[in-house]
Every structure is written in C-alpha cells, then in structure tokens.
Structure 1
Amino acid sequence: MSLDIGDALRSGIDDLTGEDGLLVGSVFLLYSLGSLVADESLSAELLTLVFESGAYTAEQRAMVDSFGGSPFALGVGLPAAVVLVVLVALAGELVRYWAIRSFAGPAETETDAFGDRAVMAVGLGGAVALTTLLFQSVLPVVGQLGGVATTLVGSIVGPLAGLVLLTVFVYLRQEIALNDGGYGETVRNSFARFMDDPASIVILLVVLGLFGLVGGLPSLVAGLAGGDAAVAGLPVTVLTRLLSTVLGAVFQTLGIAVVTDAYLQVRTSARESAA
C-alpha cells in the first residue's frame, strides 16, 4: 500500500501546528472570511430568486428565515454576486497553491518560482472549484425553480457529483503546485495518483470530513436557537457563522497539509515502482 493514513495525519497535524501552518492558517482565515461574504451574497440572491418564483409557501419561507438568513450578504444583485464568488474562488486557488508549496517545501517542488504554475493553479484549479460550487451550492437552490423532480436532482445529484469530482481529482492541486507538466499531463497524473491507492485516500478524506463537521456545529446551534437569538447584543447567527468560519479555516488548512503529505507518499511510491 503506497499511502500510510496515520503518517499523513501525523504529518499534517505537525505542519498545522508549526510556523508554516500558523502562517498558512492565518492567510486562509482571511480568505475564508471573504468567501463567507461572497457565498452568502450569492446564496441570498438565489434564495430571493426562488422566493419570487413562488416555489416556497409563506410558511416555508418563514422557516428558512428562522435560520438567520444571510447576515453577511452584500445585497449587490445576482450578476455582481456571481462575479464576486468567481473572483474569490480564483483567489482561493492561489492561496491553496501557495499553501501546498509551503507545506511540501522546496525539496519536493519541481519549479523554483511561485509564478511558474500560478496561472495553471487559477485556470485548472479554478475550473474544478467553480464546477464543484455549481454542483454543490447552486444546483440545489436553482433546482427548486422547476418543481419536485428538479429539486430532487439538484439536491441529491448535484452535491453527489461535486463530491465525486473532488474525490477523483483530490491530488490535482498538489500536482499543479509540485510538478512541472502541461495541462493534460497534470490532469492525467493527478488521476493516476488517485488510482495508485484509491481506498486509502477515500478513507483519509472521510476522516478529514468528520473533522470538518466540527466547523458546522456552531451554525447548527444557531439554527436550534432560532434566528432572533442574541448574545451580548449580537445575533447568534453572526457569532456562530464567524466561529464556523474560524474552525473551517483551521480544518481546511489541516486538510491541505494532510493531502499534500498523502500526495508526496503516493508520488514517491509511483516513482520507486517505475525505477
């Protein structure tokens, strides 16, 4: 077996708590806050579209509103919200690209300058990120415009397709950041590294997903407390979503560190087998 799950987790935790991890985590938190604003802006505009279509009854709309709405939404309109989400997603690819190179170190990086593969990180990584966003966040909402059938397709097929895409190309960002090849070669290599030991990486992703669920607990508490609840004069929805963003940044940073170590393991194993 080319991937040692325990080693990947231990290495990821060490990286997270080290100097590089603290720096990457801080930058990732800033990005996550921007992503929170962008995502809520788009979500609010899409929900407004659904509400205006009459897909929700007054009682269903009240139930949605009871979860606190979108307090960080900018209210800039759907076209501007879409542009904002795209720009933030592409910026996030640069953050991940830099984070992967930081965790791997110069010895494991086949290109010297940061800018050597930055365009590919934005173009190729951004395409996967935006496609995943479309499947997991946009289709479940837009699907509600077409009735029960499209609602089920959007709510089930969309997130499932996004999950499959993320899993199969789990190493794509590492392949971009740490190797030196063309677009087609990069995609093929990332898929090949996944196929080197698919069972272990799937298990590892499930473990990371369980960690990530912790980040969603504050928002669950807010939903149970009701959208009107407040602490020290601040809405619980605002406080819990900020806390969820902080926790999410920590676990996403951990995920990058862990998957990067896993990628280095399978890449080393593949090269040793080919030698």
Structure 2
Amino acid sequence: MALQIGRAFQDGIDELLSERGAMFAGVFIVYGLLSSVVWASLSQAFTELFLGRLPSDAQVNQAAMAGSTPLALDLPLAVTGVGALVLLILNEALNIVAIRAFASDDREPIPDNVGRRLGRTVVVAIAAGILTTIAVGIGLILLIIPGLVFGLLFFFVRQEIALNDSGVIESISNSVSVVTDNLLATFVLAIVLVVLGFVLGGAVSFLPISLPPMVLATVSTVFSSVVSVFSIAVTTVAYLQATGSSYTQDTESIGGL
C-alpha cells in the first residue's frame, strides 16, 4: 500500500483531537516543560562553572548570561546531569508508547500492549538513535546534503523498533527500504512536519505583544510538545500505510525486557 500524504495528515489530526491525543499532548507538555527546566539548568550550571574558571578581569556579567536561560533553576551540575540522562531515557519510552498507542486498533486511550518489552525496546531505540545521529552528523559535515539524505532514510526507525521489535541494524535497514519505496511521499511528509514544527515552535516570537522571557519559553515549549505528538501520530499512520501492516502484538509479554 502506498503512503498517502493527505490521509496520513487527516488521520494524524483525528488522533490529536481524540481523547488519546489529548492525553499524550498533556503528558508531552509536562515532559517538555520539565525537560526545558533541566536542560536550561544544566546549561546554566556549565556556564557558571566555565565563568568561575576565568580570570576575574575576564569574567562576564552572569546576570546577563542568566537572561538567556529563563527556565533555569539554581541546581548542582551533578543533579542536572543525572536529570538530563533520565529525561533522555524517558523521552524514548514516551515515544515508543505513543507510537504503539497511535498504531493500535484498540480505542482505549492507553491500549494494554503499549508497555510490552519496554525496557529492551528503549535500549534498542537509544542505540539506534546514537548510531543514526552519528551517521547524520557525519553526513552534515560532508557538504550537508548527505546528512539530510540519511535523516530522511532513517525516518521510520522508531516505528520499526516500537512496532516490530526490530534490532538496531534491522530497524535502520527496514526504514531505508520503506523510505526508498515511498521516497517522494516521505520527503514531502518530512518537510511539512519540519516546517510545521519551526512555524508553531517560533510562533510566539511574532506575537504583537511583549511577553516576559519565561512566558515565551513556556508557551513555545507547549506548542512544540503538541507538534511532537502530532508528528508521532502522522509518522506512525504513514508507516502503517507504507508497510500495509497493523499493530496487533500479543499482550502476554507485557513488561518483559
């Protein structure tokens, strides 16, 4: 079955406006705000550590530096570092659960099988994410275009891992195969989602009223989180279209690693 862009976006909108979509939007907003605070705090902690090692006559106004991280809290570097690591793992878990939920025919907001072998799947997803990020990074260094091509070819890696229990290399290989079979449609889909993310994520910057930096950062995070949920829904629907498959995994192995 070919990937149908219009149908993928329509189904994605329907999912976002459903009870399931609203629930995941709420969860991702909370995660996004928490993540923004932790990463801003980590950045501030690194900045303060760096400034503290500068000669006194070369130090920068720390108050001015703090203005660039309005959501930052005064936390120890070790605490923010551990928090950032935990959030990276949680991010993969949330993405996997969301993919499985949006792929399921079960109309319950959280189908019973979304937590199946979650620990093992998260580990595979992190490993695949590291490998693909390195490949895309190298490609970007090599005249940018190869990196963009790699990014497109890896478009469905998470769906492969979440829905088919694919391993690292298998998920990458299968994603490349699905994308090349639906190259133009996948390219258009990816471009639209990226543009949508940029537009809505930065929409608050174009408001005709002046807002405090903390409010701007918070609203931007909320918009970006909702777009993330919509993107997961659309990408998952598109993957199911392109592969002609459905997610009906056995629920007996829930919780296994």
TM-score (norm 2): 0.74
Rounded Cα–Cα distance in structure 2 between residues aligned with 1:31 and 1:71: 17
Count of aligned residue pairs for this structure pair = 235
Counterpart in 2 of 1:87? Answer: 86
The CA distance in 1 between the partners of 2:100 and 2:221, in whole Å, is 23
C-alpha distance in structure 2 between counterparts of 1:206 and 1:166, whole Å: 11
Among residues 183, 188, 192, which one is paired with 2:177 in the alignment? Answer: 192
Q: Which one scores higher on RCO, CA 8 angstroms, separation ≥ 6?
A: 2
In the alignment, does 2:3 pair up with 1:3?
yes
Q: Distance in 1 between matches of 2:72 and 2:181?
A: 42
Change (3 A) 1:93 1:240: same
**Structure 1 residues 189 and 135: CA distance shift in structure 2, 3 A:** closer
Residues 171 and 259 in structure 1, CA contact (< 8 A), matched pair in contact too: yes
Q: Are the aligned partners of 1:41 and 1:76 in contact in 2 as well (CA < 8 Å)? A: yes
Distance 1:76 1:27, change over 3 A: same
Inter-partner Cα distance in structure 2 for 1:129 and 1:217: 29
C-alpha RMSD of the superposition = 4.0
Alpha-carbon offset, residue 255 of structure 1: 0.3
- Residue 250 of structure 2 is matched in structure 1 by none
**Which sits farther off after the overlay, 29-38 or 245-254?**
29-38
Alpha-carbon spacing, 1:51–1:205, altered in 2? closer, same or farther (3 Å)? farther
| Separation of aligned partners in 2, 1:173 and 1:96 | 8
User: What pairs with 1:164-203 in structure 2 (closer than 5 Å)?
Assistant: 166-203=151-188
Residues 1:166 and 1:40: Cα distance change in structure 2 (over 3 Å): farther
Q: 1:66 to 1:115 in 2, by over 3 A?
A: closer
Shift in Å at residue 267 of structure 1? Answer: 0.8
Alpha-carbon displacement from aligned partner over 1:144-175 (angstroms, at most 9, x marks no partner): xxxxxxxxx9xx749x6876654332211111
Written as runs of structure 1 = structure 2, the 5 A alignment for 1:153-232 is 157=141, 166-213=151-198, 214-218=200-204, 220=205
CA distance in 2, matches of 1:135, 1:47: 29
Alpha-carbon distance between aligned partners in 2 of 1:51 and 1:248, rounded to the nearest angstrom = 31
After superposition, the C-alpha distances for 1:33-79 in whole angstroms (9 at most, x for unaligned) are: 1111122123323444665677xx989x67x9489321222333444
Structure 1: tracts of 5 or more residues without a match: 140-152, 270-275
Residue in 1 that maps onto 2:14? 14
What is the distance in 2 between the residues matched to 1:221 and 1:50?
Answer: 33
> Is there any run of 5+ residues in structure 2 with no aligned partner, and where?
107-111, 246-257
* Contact 1:176–1:186 (Cα < 8 Å) also in 2: yes
Q: 1:33 to 1:134 in 2, by over 3 A?
A: farther
Which structure carries more helix by proportion?
Answer: 1
Alignment pair present for 1:254 and 2:230: yes
Give the TM-score of the pair, scaled to structure 1: 0.70
State the alpha-carbon separation in 1 of the partners of residues 58 and 203 from structure 2: 28
| 115 and 99 in structure 1: CA distance in 2 versus 1, 3 angstrom threshold | closer
In structure 2, do the counterparts of structure 1 residues 78 and 202 end up closer, same or farther at CA, with 3 Å as the change threshold?
A: farther
Corresponding residue SS for 2:70: coil
Native 8 Å contact 1:89 1:130 kept in 2: no
Between the aligned partners of 1:49 and 1:4, the Cα distance in structure 2 is 51
How far is the alpha carbon of 1:176 from its aligned partner? 1.6
Aligned to 2:217: 241
